[in-house]
Amino acid sequence: MFRVLGFGGSSITPKHSTSTQSLTALDEPYALTQALKAMDLLMDDAVADAEKSLENGQSSFHKLAGGVIAFLSATLGFEADIMKEASDRLADAEASAERDRKRAVKENHQTGRLPPGIEYALCNAEAQLMSAVVGLLSESVAETLKSFYRLRTAYKTLEGIHNSLEALDFKIDYGAHSDRNTPEGSIHDESEKTPGSSSSSISVKTAKSAQSTSNDKPLEMSMGNLSLKRSSTKTRMSRDEVEIFTASGCSLCFGVLLLLLGMVPPSLGRVMSIVGFKGDRRRGLSMLWDASKAENVHGAIATLIILNYYGNALQTCDIVAADNEEGGYPQQKCHDALVKIRQKYPNSALWKLEEARMEAVAGRLEAAVETLERPVKTEMRQVEALMLFEKSINSMFLHRYQAVADGFLKLTTLNKWSHGLYTYFAASCYVELYRQHKDTSPSVALTYATQAESLLLKVPTYMGRKRFMAQGLPLEIFSDRKVKKWQARATAKGVRLVDGVGVSPIEEMIYIWNGYKRQSPEALEQSLMAIKYGDEEVEKDTADEKAIRWLLESVVMRRKGELQKAKELLVMVVEKQTPAQAPFDMWMAPAAHYELAVCHWKTLPEFSPYDPSYKEELEKIKNYLTKASGFSQYELDTRIGLKIQTALDTVNHAMEEAPVVEREMGPGPMKKAEEKTGLRVEGEKRDGDKQEMAGGWI
């Protein structure tokens, strides 16, 4: 049957223990319940307890849960030994799930309404997805190629599972099963506690506190205990849990694949389509919202992805639908989702991070920083690093240079990911502090200059240490090239390195992270001053430095509402001939075309959708975006490509939704014929007539 589902089996050799336990109809949901409770502990920041609760389980569900713990540690920390462990545990989970799938099909073992083995096919696909991500983070070309194979296999499997469930008209009322995973239902509850038997009210009692009850006993898988203690009603509830796990897992995994594939930059999207991947951002989001209703780990992760998408990825683009409109930021819906998940997992710092992002999206940067400055206790050092990174980025938007430098330097002690980029951030902050004090406090400025130069010279030493998809990290390559460029400028001018730095590097980083979108008018003025530093010598500067200055200034002008001035500056960037080789910057032309599209998008509300000029304006915006997507071979391709792809998705949807309107061309042959004969020519529009078009009456 799973040949039809596109699931061709696994060729992965497990590297962990291959011991497994053949599960009966009653054992299977019981093992799943244990694994899901362990995942609840993980999501509530009780990592050690989650690991301990899985120690004695050898089912595919237990192994997958263990793989999830290792995966989160690997992807949040990027440490080689942890990534190796994650890869091994996920390979074991993948092989175990495949064995159980084959057994279930052979024995025609069916759980509830599900086709035989489909729950294990889901486990296998989840393990493959996580293995693929870990492989892409490796420095091996071979692992990268294997990862794309795993992605394709998982994609086809999930597509098959989804189609199979749709063919069965398989629907889950998550609300009817919303009580299973409240914190009272943790893995430390008494063995008599069964799925579906907890209170219906939302509790904020933590999973950690649940284990303090002296009478709590660990659950043990025992066929005898199951047969004695479980009624047919409880068995039905357990089978329902397997169905919920499968349906929510499919919506989560297939949904996130569709979303991510719908977001990839145009250059990478073409490659993905060749190997059979097809993304759909809106469909993916719909599936994720559906999965978020489940009261299990799938619901929690779906909520996390949704909040991350709207609070992070979507905010990189300026051409998006209005808030609370289709395709835009559903403000209240996201707020409600965050409240719900924080009630369920009150100890997790991940949700505090999302709360801070919500503040930043609303333009309340100070509140976001304050939220992230509150001390938190977390067993996940990697989450601490994420929170510090987010705080440092928001502080950068507020021009708190010393805090930003301190934050990024501390990050080099918390994880091993992109030390070159972290160091570049800190160095750029000291460049700004030097410039601020150069004319007023020379001795203070000298201290900052020394710090800036010391850090800038360290950036090249980090090159090649970290790779993604077997290639160097784009922003580290960008940083390294900038340092080399400034060294050459300083030598040519006969000045020290800090004086060879061009247009404000920290303002470039604010643009790359789209910080201007969140800045207050006061912060925008500060940015403008930093961009215009050394303005009196701009005519002597190189073509690429002029283009960078004009581009950054145009974005500030747009944010201040001066669209005409912004357009004029962008036209200057487009028309400027800049060198097309290192060490010069080459990202401004595609960025300028994108920004011209943004300027026209901002004027779109001036047109009625029933005005023919409305669709013409959309065509103009799309043309700018198409030109922007045509550039390649520059370090910010992925970053700017993400903006472009999001914008194209928005514009294409707007064009599809636009009413069909015909432009009046003035008296034509039909009109003249009517005047001559006195007869009405069919199809000709006349003043005062109502003509029903696709978009309504006009």
pLDDT digits (tens, 9 = 90+) for 467-521: 555 467 889 999 999 999 999 999 999 999 999 999 999 999 999 999 999 999 9
Whether the per-residue pLDDT at 146 is higher than 80: the answer is yes
Q: Is the pLDDT of residue 280 over 50?
A: yes
Q: Write down the pTM of the prediction.
A: 0.81
Give the residue with greater pLDDT, 110 vs 511.
Answer: 511
pLDDT confidence tier of residue 113, bands split at 50, 70 and 90: confident
CB < 8 Å & 24+ apart, contacts of 421-424: 421/473, 421/475, 421/476, 421/479, 423/455, 423/458, 423/459, 423/462, 424/455, 424/456, 424/459, 424/476, 424/479, 424/482, 424/483, 424/505
In 494-611, alpha helices (H): 497-500, 505-512, 521-531, 543-559, 563-575, 588-603
The tokens for 173 are: 């009322």
pLDDT at residue 263 greater than cutoff 70: yes
Average pLDDT over residues 621-639: 91
Q: What is the pLDDT of residue 334?
A: 96
- In tens, the pLDDT along 409-446 reads 999 998 877 899 999 999 999 999 999 999 999 999 99
Measured distance CA(276)–CA(263) in Å, rounded: 16
HEC letters along 462-520: HCCCCEECCEECHHHHHHHHHHHHHHHHHHHHCCCHHHHCCCCHHHHHHHHCCHHHCCC
Residue 24's pLDDT band (boundaries 50, 70, 90)? low
- Cis peptide leading into residue 14 (ω within 30°): no
CA 370 to CA 670: how far, in whole Å?
Answer: 69
Would you say residue 590 has pLDDT above 90? yes
Average pLDDT, the chain: 81
Integer Cα distance of 21 and 29 in angstroms: 13
Look at residue 78 in the predicted model and tell me its pLDDT: 65
Q: Could you tell me the pLDDT band of residue 307, with boundaries at 50, 70 and 90?
A: very high
pLDDT at 48 (0 to 100): 92
Query: Where residue 277 falls among pLDDT bands split at 50, 70, 90?
Result: confident
Q: What is the pLDDT of residue 62?
A: 95
Of the listed ranges 217-226, 323-332, 608-617, the one predicted with least confidence: 217-226
DSSP string, 658-684: SPP-PPP--S-HHHHHHHHH-PPPTT-
Distance CA 44, CA 345 (A): 5
Amino acid 273: pLDDT? 64
pLDDT of residue 177: 53
Given pLDDT bands bounded at 50, 70 and 90, which one contains residue 185? very low
The answer to which of 145-159, 364-378, 380-394, 666-680 has the lowest mean pLDDT is 666-680
- The DSSP bridge partners found for residue 467 are 472
Apex 482 CA angle, 479 and 483, nearest 5: 90
Average the pLDDT over 599-628 and give the result: 93
Average pLDDT value for residue range 173-199:
42
Task: DSSP for 25-79, please give it.
Answer: TTHHHHHHHHHHHHHHHHHTT-HHHHHHHTTT--SHHHHHHHHHHHHHHHHHH--
pLDDT in tens, 344-356: 999 999 999 999 9
Q: In this structure, are residues 296 and 181 in contact, taking their beta carbons and an 8 Å threshold? A: yes
Segment 140-150 mean pLDDT: 76
Flag whether pLDDT at 217 surpasses 90: no
**pLDDT in the model for residue 11:** 37
pLDDT for the residue numbered 269: 62
> pLDDT tens digit string along 29-48?
789 999 999 999 999 999 99
Non-local CB neighbours of 10 within 8 Å, separated by 6+ positions? 94, 95, 97, 98, 124, 128
Report pLDDT digits (tens) over 509-567: 999 999 999 999 999 999 999 999 988 777 788 899 999 999 999 999 999 999 999 99
**pLDDT tens, position by position, 43-74:** 999 999 999 999 888 999 999 999 999 988 77
